[in-house]
């Protein structure tokens, strides 16, 4: 018999996991041990897990948080069963997930995007004119960051992993490596016309200061003496967006650009879910669908399209029916009533 800590070490050694994934596994184990202590896996049964679930949910734990604990511990317990380190015939975490409340995806309204972009452009022009640091500095760099999130919808961590050589201006795409992606898959995002001038400026600036092909491209520390770090991290990006939030009085974050892009794509006439799925690098379609928010206006438009289609078919059908009648017989223009049909 083993403890969760012991089986976790064996599991991590057998898999290639991201640091963030390992952190979630350890957090789940910690939650388990706070309730059961550092016990052996064989000392706890399914009914005790259900009782633990009830206690945590009754205490106010979010259902999504419980599902995170349950799914990760189920994986570890299943691995222990595969390695014959426990003798149970059934995974004690099977059937312990709960249905979470539907979480509304957060998107950014178009007027907020325009306001944020205009302010960053204003700050860029201010720095160029006065040669003094603006509220967000260097403003031109953060404008490139802003436009990259807007046009690509990539994750924050993906942006931090982009190297100089990952940007292909001639072919107009950015390579996103799989090492730090949730799906562990490599993919690419196109550089659109509105995004291209910003990426050209960033790459040109990077080469002018001697950045090597394998260096972090989105590294504000290399473009301003105001910063002292060697590489750009998540905190620096979030600090910039915090200033945008204070300026606009509304939430605007990198991940909300992701939700916004997905919703915008799925509102287009063809609603190509496969394109959206590939662009966001999702491993399953359900994840992509979860980003889509349908409001009353979307429903109204869909029903209006359906109504127009049926009206068009009915009109054509009546015209064909009228033409097919023998000469001298008029087509009744009035639709049959229910009473006539029953008679």
Catalytic residues: 155, 182, 255, 258, 282, 291
**Residue 243, CA distances (Å) to 124, 130, 194, 248, 341 in order:** 15, 21, 24, 9, 69
Residue partners of 66: CB distance under 8 A and separation at least 6: 53, 56, 57, 98
Three-state DSSP at 294 gives: coil
Residues 252/197, Cβ–Cβ less than 8 Å: no
Q: Record the tokens describing residue 120, joined without a space.
A: 């960053």
Q: In the chain, at which residue ranges do the beta strands (DSSP E only) sit? A: 167-168, 173-176, 187-190
* Residue partners of 65: CB distance under 8 A and separation at least 6: none
DSSP secondary structure string for all residues of 153-177: ---HHHHHH-BGGGEETTTTEEEE-
Short-list 149, 128, 130, 151, CA closest to 139: 128
Cβ burial of 61 (10 Å; 0-12, 13-18, 19+) is middle
Using alpha carbons only, give the angle 17, 20, 21 rounded to the nearest 5 degrees.
45
DSSP assigned state of 189: E
Q: How far is CA 297 from the centre of its chain?
A: 24
């Amino acid at each position: 018999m083993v403890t969760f800590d012991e089986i976790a070490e064996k599991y991590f050694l057998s898999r290639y996991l991201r640091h963030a994934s390992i952190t979630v596994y350890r957090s789940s184990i910690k939650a388990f041990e706070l309730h059961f202590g550092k016990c052996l896996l064989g000392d706890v049964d399914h009914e005790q897990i259900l009782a633990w679930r009830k206690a945590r949910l009754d205490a106010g734990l979010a259902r999504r948080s419980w599902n995170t604990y349950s799914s990760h511990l189920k994986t570890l317990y299943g691995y222990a069963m595969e390695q014959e380190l426990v003798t149970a015939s059934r995974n004690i975490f099977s059937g312990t997930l709960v249905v979470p409340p539907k979480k509304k995806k957060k998107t950014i309204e178009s007027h907020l995007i325009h306001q944020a972009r205009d302010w960053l452009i204003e700050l860029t022009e201010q720095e160029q004119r006065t040669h003094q640091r603006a509220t967000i500095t260097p403003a031109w760099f953060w404008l490139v960051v802003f436009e990259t999130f807007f046009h690509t919808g990539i994750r924050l961590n993906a942006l931090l992993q982009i190297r100089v050589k990952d940007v292909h201006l001639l072919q107009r795409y950015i390579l996103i490596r799989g090492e730090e992606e949730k799906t562990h898959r490599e993919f690419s995002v196109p550089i659109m016309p509105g995004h291209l001038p910003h990426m050209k400026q960033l790459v040109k600036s990077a080469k002018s200061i001697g950045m090597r092909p394998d260096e972090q491209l989105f590294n504000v520390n290399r473009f301003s003496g105001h910063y002292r770090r060697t590489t750009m991290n998540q905190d620096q990006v979030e600090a910039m967006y915090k200033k945008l939030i204070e300026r606009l009085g509304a939430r605007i974050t990198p991940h909300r650009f992701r939700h916004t892009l997905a919703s915008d794509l799925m509102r287009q006439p063809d609603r190509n879910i496969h394109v959206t799925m590939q662009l966001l690098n999702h491993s399953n379609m359900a994840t992509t669908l979860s980003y889509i928010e349908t409001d009353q206006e979307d429903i109204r438009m869909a029903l209006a399209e359906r109504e127009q289609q049926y009206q068009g078919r009915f009109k054509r059908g009546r015209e064909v029916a009228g033409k097919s009648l023998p000469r001298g017989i008029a087509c009744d223009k009035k639709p049959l009533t229910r009473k006539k049909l029953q008679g």
